[in-house]
Amino acid sequence: MEKFVDNLSPMDLMRSEKMKLVQLIIPVESAHRAVSYLGELGLLQFRDLNAEKSPFQRTFVNQVKRCGEMSRKLRFFKDQIIKAGLLSSIHPVVEPDVELEELEILLAEHEHELIEMNSNSEKLRQTYNELLEFKIVLIKAGSFLVSSDNHAVAEERELSENVHSNHSYDEASSLIEQEMGTADQPGLRFISGIICKSKALRFERILFRATRGNMLFNQAPAGEEIMDPLSAVKAEKTVFVVFFSGEQARKKILKICEAFGANCYPVPEDFSKQRQITREVSSRLSELEVTLDAGIRHQNKALTSIGYHLTQWMSMVRREKAVYDTLNMLNFDVTKKCLVGEGWCPVFAKAKIQDALQRATVDSNSQVGIIFHVMDAVESPPTYFRTNHFTNAYQEIVDAYGVARYQEANPAVYTVITFPFLFAVMFGDWGHGICLLLGALVLIARESRLSTQKLGSFMEMLFGGRYVLLLMSLFSIYCGLIYNEFFSVPFHIFGGSAYKCRDATCSDAHSAGLIKFRDPYPFGVDPSWRGSRSELPLLNSLKMKMSILLGVTQMNLGIILSYFNAHFFRNSLDIRYQFVPQMIFLNSLFGYLSLLIIIKWCTGSQADLYHVMIYMFLSPTDDLGDNQLFWGQRPLQIVLLLLALVAVPWMLFPKPFILKKLHSERFQGRNYGMLISSEFHPDAEPDSAREHHEEFNFSEVFVHQMIHSIEFVLGAVSNTASYLRLWALSLAHSELSTVFYEKVLLLAWRYDNIVIRLIGLAVFAFATAFILLMMETLSAFLHALRLHWVEFQNKFYHGDGYKFKPFSFASITDDDD
């Protein structure tokens, strides 16, 4: 739906789009085309009017089954193309769509052809592999038989006594059929064959035990990996010849060969016969190679012709299946001539939908038009925010917590700025920020190419958040300039330092400290603080107080957004008895603390703010002494403390009793239930008593309000403390960076050895990339996520809505096959 978000404004994100429930009455002859046009538009979310029916009881179940069967055939074609290695060499062509019935017949023909070719190829391949094994057995086993020609018993061996497997070869049968009748004659016999090398040792041991040692086992490696005829898996194999005597031994050996998956082949004793059979087998192998090559070329040609249209066919079948799935959500009217459907659509899309339905009527040559009208709805509509490439990632961050309730304030508008900024407060280092910026720019520069490729889960997540990464890197550079850290190293970017040493040698810089001789450093932290004895206390104080200021500011923003929600839904009770006391309570305590921090920074006072805040509760009337920052501070603290105490019952008691009074006045003197109007009022507060006409449970409302009040009071303290994670992670990132720089890079640079320096540089680069740029980035990201989900959004955000999911061809993926 990117074509509808080109002129996106911040107000489009502030509130979700106004939605309407509409009803469609579509003639049967126009139904398929109308739903197809709506799928191309992608602005109508159909409601399932047949939810009580199983998939097999719906009207268009046969069409869905046919599409599913065609999808199976297309997946089969794709697997065959990938198996043949032709996917990269095929460039799809676009041709006019064919009718579904024609495509079904065409796919069936192609499938039958491919299955037949695969079957023939498999049989030929199995025969080829068997002959190849036979040839190797003839060569290897023949050497064993030739070496035993000097023995007298060799003359008694007969070829007909050779025991072989069920594989028969016409080429070799003429040489041994004359001796088949002498199989029962006694004498020394042998069985030759081939077995996997990994099984050879166990095979020999089992044979020895089964024959009680009355056998002779010879073996030789095949020399190369061979394709097994049955499993079609390449494996190292060993040729064996087992000499034995007796029919019982023969049966035992055959069973063991079968159990171990050994393939047995007949080898004649006569050397001339061996040579003749070898020549015949080699000739047969050459013929099979030619036949197999011809079959592969024919199959590749068929697959290539299919591959040209495969993408188009798969898209067509997916769309048709989606259309029939949607038609199954519609109901027939009483005349069985029209389909009735209902769905949600944005108000701005009504005209576009009506145009699409009008085109469907004209293109289907229907005599009856499609009726489109707005319905009244009781339930809450879905939530739909128009987003673009830039804002979509921030909206997904908010939706991961919970989808906004219909028309409530959307945190994503503020998350666009606050999320990357809070990340940068924890990650601030302009050297590391530049590294993140380069990564983000690479992803954005390749946006058009990467958006069309299938990426892994991690890369897909990284690519989806490329604009989040961009702002995080820019804010990290900004905060890094304020902290004056470039891979933990300070620079005099904005002028000279305001401090200098006490003498020319600067020997007492770390003990006695420096002296100020000019105006303060114009931007950020003075580089002279680096390495001084007061560096850590300064940065701790700065970052801790800054964290409190940022936290109180963001929490106030959340409470202000709750006012806008209440004002939008015309709920004056929430304004008077939630917004006002919450603002008073939070700012009487932590707003006052923020004011003290700013005054202390501006005046340079040495007041102890811990002491001030603790004794504001313990001894509010005591004299402040040296901790007084301004005139009238003590009476102001007493007033603020009283306001905070008053704000708690203000939040707790009035609202439940007023709701009870309003309910009793509304139904006073009525002995019958109030008729509930089917009209939906989008401007009414969902939590108001309007939705509880027939029943009002005061105890439930009071307990809910009590929980909400206690949660806010305790949360004001815990949430403020939670923002101190900004200080903690910023300090940890800075100290880690310092350790890697001083204890790895500088330590290696002290040695006048190029190898040690290169090792130190490699370790520093590895630590920077994998610890500071990956682990620390992930850590800061998760903590910023928590601050937004919990500390910010719980002040105003319900997040109990559901997403607008229109029927759209653009949202159909390969997984829908």
> What is the bridge-based pairing of β-strands 188-196 and 234-245?
antiparallel
| Among the ranges given (88-97, 307-316, 409-418), the one the predictor scored with the smallest mean pLDDT | 88-97
Structure tokens at 693: 């006409």
* pLDDT (tens digit per residue) in 49-81: 998 989 888 989 999 999 999 999 999 999 999
Average of per-residue pLDDT across 94-117: 89
Q: What value does the mean pLDDT of the chain take?
A: 85
Would the pLDDT of 536 be above 90?
A: no
Q: What is the DSSP string of 37-81?
A: HHHHHT--EE--TTTTS-GGGSTTHHHHHHHHHHHHHHHHHHHHH
Would the pLDDT of 173 be above 70?
A: no
* Integer CA distances (angstroms), 85 to 90, 310, 334, 350, in order: 10, 15, 55, 48
pLDDT band at 189 (very low <50, low <70, confident <90, very high): confident
What's CA 726's distance to the chain center, in Å? 28
* pLDDT (tens digit per residue) in 18-48: 999 999 999 999 999 999 999 999 999 999 9
Q: Say if residues 241 and 145 touch (Cβ distance below 8 Å).
A: yes
DSSP 513: -
SS (H, E, C) 352-398: HHHHHHHHHHHHCCCCCCCEEEEECCCCCCCECCCCCHHHHHHHHHH
Q: What pLDDT, on the 0 to 100 scale, is given for residue 157?
A: 39
Q: Count CB atoms within 10 A of the CB of residue 358.
A: 15
DSSP 231: T
Would the pLDDT of 785 be above 90?
A: yes
| Among the ranges given (449-453, 459-463, 791-795), the one the predictor scored with the smallest mean pLDDT | 449-453
Would the pLDDT of 159 be above 50?
A: no
Q: What is the dihedral of CA 538, 540, 541, 546, to 10 degrees?
A: 120
| Among the ranges given (417-426, 683-692, 716-725), the one the predictor scored with the smallest mean pLDDT | 683-692
Q: What pLDDT, on the 0 to 100 scale, is given for residue 668?
A: 66
3-class DSSP state of 543? helix
User: What are the two backbone dihedrals, phi and then psi, of residue 187, each rounded to the nearest 5 degrees?
Assistant: 145, 180
Q: Which residues pair with 239 in a beta bridge?
A: 194, 220
The residues near 500 (Cβ < 8 Å, ≥ 6 apart) are: 514, 515, 517
* pLDDT (tens digit per residue) in 646-660: 999 999 999 999 998
Q: What pLDDT, on the 0 to 100 scale, is given for residue 3?
A: 41
Would the pLDDT of 167 be above 50?
A: no
Would the pLDDT of 206 be above 60?
A: yes
What distance in Å separates the CA atoms of residue 661 and residue 666, rounded to the nearest whole number?
Answer: 9
Q: Count CB atoms within 10 A of the CB of residue 421.
A: 19
Q: What pLDDT, on the 0 to 100 scale, is given for residue 352?
A: 94
Choice between 680 and 352, residue whose per-residue pLDDT is larger: 352
What's CA 322's distance to the chain center, in Å? 24
What's CA 801's distance to the chain center, in Å? 22
Would the pLDDT of 805 be above 50?
A: yes
Choice between 534 and 429, residue whose per-residue pLDDT is larger: 429
pLDDT band at 12 (very low <50, low <70, confident <90, very high): low
Average of per-residue pLDDT across 101-125: 92
